[in-house]
Amino acid sequence: MTPTQASLSPARTLRALAVDDRGSTAIEYALIAALVSIAILGGLSALSDSMVTMFNTVNSAM
């Protein structure tokens, strides 16, 4: 922590954090990644039953 940061009052620190938007892009990307992963998991779980049926059919045909 620099001396300038240490000398800031808590109110100034809170105001500086409220105005600072450097981390907002990272949070937005994290939310997008989370939504994409949830969509992928939902799609895979929807396909899992049909995939099991297909592999069982192939296995019994061999």
pLDDT digits (tens, 9 = 90+) for 12-53: 877 877 777 777 788 889 999 999 999 999 998 888 888 889
Q: How far is residue 12's CA from residue 59's CA, in Å, rounded to a whole number?
A: 68
Q: From the CB of residue 20, how many other CB atoms can be counted at a distance below 10 Å?
A: 9
Q: Are 16 and 8 in contact (CB under 8 A)?
A: yes
Q: Is 8 left (phi over 0), alpha (psi -120 to 50) or beta?
A: beta
Q: How far is residue 22's CA from residue 13's CA, in Å, rounded to a whole number?
A: 15
Q: Is the pLDDT of residue 58 over 60?
A: yes
pTM (two decimals): 0.51
Q: What's the pLDDT at 5?
A: 55
Residue 3: pLDDT band with limits 50, 70, 90 = low
